[in-house]
Amino acid sequence: MNSTLDISPLTDWITLDGKPFIIAGPCSAESEEQLRQTALALKNLNQAGSRVHAIRAGVWKPRTRPNSFEGMGEAALPWIQTVRKEVGLPFATEIATPQHLELALKYGIDFVWIGARTTVNPFTVQEIADALRGVDIPVLIKNPINPELALWVGAIERIQRAGVKKIAAIHRGFSTHQPSKYRNLPLWQIPIELKSIFPNLPIIGDPSHIAGKREFLAELAQKAMDINYDGLIIESHINPAVALSDAAQQLTPAALGDLLARLQVRQARTTSPETQGQMEELRNRMDRADREIIEAIANRMAIVEEAGEHKRDHNIAIFQVERWNEVFKTRADWGEKMHLNKEFVAELYKVIHLESIRKQTEVMHSANSGEV
């Protein structure tokens, strides 16, 4: 599947001057003063050389437990309206129902996002999509909380079919029960796959909700730039210690300024013919190396097939656990000696093992060539 959706480029709805699209602001709008101080400090970063293009502030907070802070609701919207005028930057908030959308529009919100707990529900996404018909507001769509690419794709398609062209995806990571240093697993291959399905869809990284902790924000923001994301949405609070939601992951505006100043922004491609030539040469070498890998695998599989025939003719079981344990261990050790990641080599051999078993099962059930 690969479809060029009718999506406007980011630059149709925001002036970026070649910089990544940066949205920053508190997890939640808690008071007019908190919002004002945070948004002004973020805007002032722009004089210091960093660039914040838009302010985020949650009004309705989807919380796992009912007794957590669920956002200030409609009461926060007039604060946003006032502060937006004072600061002169566009504001974004999360909507989870058609009513939220209606209120957001009434108070002049510039962009809306659909949260991870909404993207999982096609009924709700469709209701929001229906409400968006004929409305010209950019919509950012977060990945679903569970690692299911189809749900993300489906939500984007529903919004797009409602006629919305200003769309971007937000990668906020995936909920996990596995022990992990992050609050949500990044699973980078999922947004990369999304991008290969919709090549013109802008992708914005949300290191805050992946990290869950301030200390991991910089590495995640850099990784997003390294794989050429179009922007970042980062939570920033004037005083994170007293934040009513997501306190551990919010940064002061000053700390956010530091993070942005250190960020190395990569170019998608180079314009220098010399660099381009060098890149081409490296790609040619990679192509040759890949061909050798495929030849080596084909060679291995031919031996596997021969072994399968031998096992079949002598009535030996295909799978011998001791042999495979030895294969996994020795290959990982060989890989390590050649400076390869041990886990990577072990994973690779799991796949090779599965294919070898499949191949030998095929041979086992094929006619014995010795039979007349």
Site for ligand PEP in 112-141 (CB under 6 A): 115-117
Work out whether the CA dihedral 101, 105, 108, 111 comes out positive or negative.
positive
Q: Does 172 bind ligand PEP (CB under 6 A)?
A: yes
The DSSP H or E segment spanning 169 is: strand 167-171
Number of residues lying near ligand PEP (CB under 6 A):
10
Q: Which of 202, 23, 238, 43 is nearest to 112 (CA)?
A: 23
Q: Which of 176, 110, 118 is nearest to 143 (CA)?
A: 118
Site for ligand PEP in 1-30 (CB under 6 A): 27
Site for ligand PEP in 199-228 (CB under 6 A): 209
Per-residue contact string for residues 77-106; x = within reach of ligand PEP by CB under 6 A: -----------------x------------
Two tokens, residue 269 = 């491609």
Q: Which residue is nearest to Mn ion (CB)?
A: 27
Tell me which of Mn ion, ligand PEP, none is bound by residue 115, counting a contact when its beta carbon lies within the kind-specific cut-off of 5 to 8 angstroms. ligand PEP
Q: Which is nearer to ligand PEP, 116 or 169 (CB)?
A: 116
Distance CA 341, CA 4 (A): 36
Q: How far is the CB of 66 from Mn ion (least distance, A)?
A: 17
The DSSP H or E segment spanning 19 is: none
Residues 257-273: b if buried by 16+ CB within 10 A, e if exposed: bebbeebeeeeeeeeee
Two tokens, residue 41 = 């400090």
Site for Mn ion in 15-34 (CB under 5 A): 27
Q: Taking contact as CB under 6 A, which single stretch among the options 47-55, 71-79, 111-119, 251-259 is the one that binds ligand PEP?
A: 111-119
Q: Which of 62, 63, 113, 114 is nearest to 90 (CA)?
A: 113
CB 62 within 8 A of CB 71: no
Tell me which of ligand PEP, Mn ion, none is bound by residue 172, counting a contact when its beta carbon lies within the kind-specific cut-off of 5 to 8 angstroms. ligand PEP
Distance CA 207, CA 221 (A): 6
Site for ligand PEP in 322-361 (CB under 6 A): none
Site for Mn ion in 217-246 (CB under 5 A): 246
Q: How far is the CB of 365 from ligand PEP (least distance, A)?
A: 49
Q: Which of 101, 107, 148 is nearest to 125 (CA)?
A: 101
Q: Which is nearer to ligand PEP, 99 or 278 (CB)?
A: 99
Tell me which of ligand PEP, Mn ion, none is bound by residue 116, counting a contact when its beta carbon lies within the kind-specific cut-off of 5 to 8 angstroms. ligand PEP
Of 53, 84, 100, 142, the one binding ligand PEP by CB under 6 A:
142
Q: Which is nearer to ligand PEP, 62 or 90 (CB)?
A: 62
Helix and strand numbers, DSSP H then E, in the chain: 13, 8
Q: Which residues bind Mn ion (CB under 5 A)?
A: 27, 246
Q: Which residues bind ligand PEP (CB under 6 A)?
A: 27, 58, 62, 94, 115-117, 142, 172, 209
